[in-house]
Amino acid sequence: RNADGTRYRDRFHGMLESLTGARWAYNAPDRESRIQAAWQDGKAFQGNTWYEMWDADDDALVKVTGGHSAIEGKALVSLKPVGKGWVLLLGTLPSEKDMDRILRLVCEKSGVALPQVEGDVMVCPRRGEAGEGLVLVEYGCGEAAVTLDAPMTDLLTGRRLQGKIHLKPYDVLVLQA
């Protein structure tokens, strides 16, 4: 939509296409797993429910490999350079395994180093005037662990932590390096 809330007449995704140079090609529902896709390295990619496909270029991380000849080779996931950063075009609901790979890839591309995690832990790197650190949240109602690369202080308890940290269900830690 444009600033007035109306659709662009020459681009399906309007500003997103202008900003990234991407060109939308097709939309398709698929709850029966008929659309197949693969990463650049050939490993299978599992999408779900709905697919937004783009004309593929060198930025395509995942391409459609099967389903219909009209969509084969179209980009399903792309990482487009914009300004000093990146825009991720995510054309489906990826499996947990594929989403993990996407998140690790964009963190690496952005220079964000994440600790090793076991279980369901949200890791939010933070950096500002007060220094650097991490916010850790166990969200799966289970035991979890995070391995820190360097000693950190939990600002909520004052404890100095290092190495493998065990988290109880719904634990929240605010760590400063």
In the numeric block, which tokens belong to residue 122? 């949200």
State yes or no: pLDDT of 1 exceeds 90: no
Please compute the mean of the pLDDT values over residues 104-109 and round it to a whole number: 88
Please compute the mean of the pLDDT values over residues 24-36 and round it to a whole number: 90
pTM above 0.85, yes or no: no
- pLDDT score for 40: 95
State yes or no: pLDDT of 109 exceeds 90: no
Please compute the mean of the pLDDT values over residues 40-52 and round it to a whole number: 93
Distance set, CA 160 to CA 106, 119, 127, 152 (Å): 30, 22, 19, 6
- pLDDT score for 130: 84
pLDDT band at 2 (very low <50, low <70, confident <90, very high): low
Q: What would the DSSP string read from start to end of 6-35?
A: ---SS-TTTHHHHHH---EEEEEEESS---
- Mean residue pLDDT of the chain comes to 89
Q: 59-86, pLDDT tens digit by residue?
A: 899 999 998 899 999 999 999 999 988 8
- pLDDT score for 175: 95
Q: What is the share, in percent, of the chain residues with pLDDT greater than 70?
A: 94
